[in-house]
Amino acid sequence: MLLEKLIQEATQRTNKVVAVAAAEDHEVVEAVKMALEQDIASFQLFGDESKTAAMLQELNLKTSDKLEIIPCTSPEDAAKKAVQSVSSGHADVLMKGMVPTARILKEVLNKEYGLRKGKVLSHVAAFEISGYDRFVFITDAAMNIAPDLQQKADIILNAVNIAASIGIKEPKVAPIAAVEVVNPAMEATLDAAALTQMNRRGQIKGCVVDGPLALDNAVSIEAAAHKGIKGEVAGVADILLVPNIETGNALYKSLIYFARARVGAVIAGAKAPIVLTSRADSAESKLYSIALAVSSA
C-alpha cells in the first residue's frame, strides 16, 4: 500500500521532531502514539499539561526523550511556542492540535519568528485511491480561495516539491477545468493554458504541466483517448491543480467519503511542513499526514 510505504520511508528520516500546538486532542494524541510506535518522529506536545498528561495516560503513553510535554497557558500560547520551536530549529514539523486554524496561521505568518518564506502557503493532499498504482495529489483544497495566475504557479511548485520529496521526479500536473479547450468565458481554462506555457518556457520547473484538462481526461487514459486528447499528462496526471477552493474541497471530501480513499496532507510553502488536519480527520489520516510532513521536512 502506498501510504504504508510512505510511513516506512518516513522512518528513514532520522531525528525529526514534530511540534504539536495545543496537543490536548484525543485524535492527535492517538496519531502521536501510532507515529511513535512506527518510530516516525519525536514529539513536543505544547498545551495544557494536565489534560495532555491525562490523554497520554489513557493510551498508556509516558513522556520520554521522544515525547515531552511543554506546559502552556492557553491554545494561543501553545501555537506561539510551537511555531517558535520550529523557527528556532528545535523541531522540524509543525502540527495543529486543538487550536483554531486562524490562530496557528497567525503565528506562522508572524514577521519576527514565523515560518513564512515569502511564497504562497498551500494545501497539498496525497491520495491513495483504489485502482490507482500511484499517489494522486490535489491542490489547493484548503488554503487559497481563488488564486490568481501567479499564485497558481506557486501552488504548483509547492506540490511539486512535496511530490519530489517522496521520490516522484518530474510529476505531471493537470490544471483542472470543466473542459479541455480554452474558452475566454472560463477563467480556469485561460489560467491553465498560461501555466502550460510558463512551464514550457522554464518559469515553472521540475514538472510537466499541460492543460486545461477536465478531471476525467486528467486521470483516465481511456477517457483521454476517447476524446482524442494527447500529451504527456492526459490520463496520467500526478497532481491535480484545482481552480478554486470550492472545487478542491468538494473533490477532496468526495474521494474520502464516496471513494473511501486514504489521504495524508500538509501545508507547503513555509520554512517547514505544517500538518493542518481537520478535527474531523481520523487518527489514521493524521498519521499519514505526519509521515508526509516528516518525509518532506
Give the model confidence (pLDDT) of 166-194 as tens digits.
999 999 999 999 999 999 999 999 999 99
As a whole number of angstroms, the distance between CA 186 and CA 143 comes to 22
Residues of the chain with pLDDT > 70, as a percent, come to: 100
Q: What is the pLDDT of residues 206-238, one digit of tens each?
A: 999 999 999 999 999 999 999 999 999 999 999
Pairing of strands 122-128, 136-139: antiparallel
Question: Residue 110 pLDDT > 80, yes or no?
Answer: yes
* Weakest-pLDDT range from 96-105, 172-181, 279-288: 279-288
17 Cβ neighbours under 8 A, 6+ residues apart: 41, 42, 43, 44, 90, 91, 92, 93
The DSSP call for residue 23 is -
- Contacts for 2 with CB less than 8 Å, ≥ 6 apart: 128, 134, 135
Residue 88 is placed in which grid cell?
A: 528556532
H or E element, residue 15: none
* pLDDT score for 1: 82
Q: Is the pLDDT of residue 277 over 90?
A: no
Helix pair 2-10, 283-296: axis angle to 10 deg: 50
pLDDT at 43: 98
pTM of the model: 0.94
Which grid coordinates belong to 277?
Answer: 488536519
Which candidate, 126, 143, 77, places its Cα nearest to that of 265? 126
Any bridge partners for residue 274, and if so which? 94, 267
CA–CA gap between residue 168 and residue 238 (Å, rounded): 9
Average pLDDT over the chain, rounded to whole?
95
pLDDT of 119 reads 81
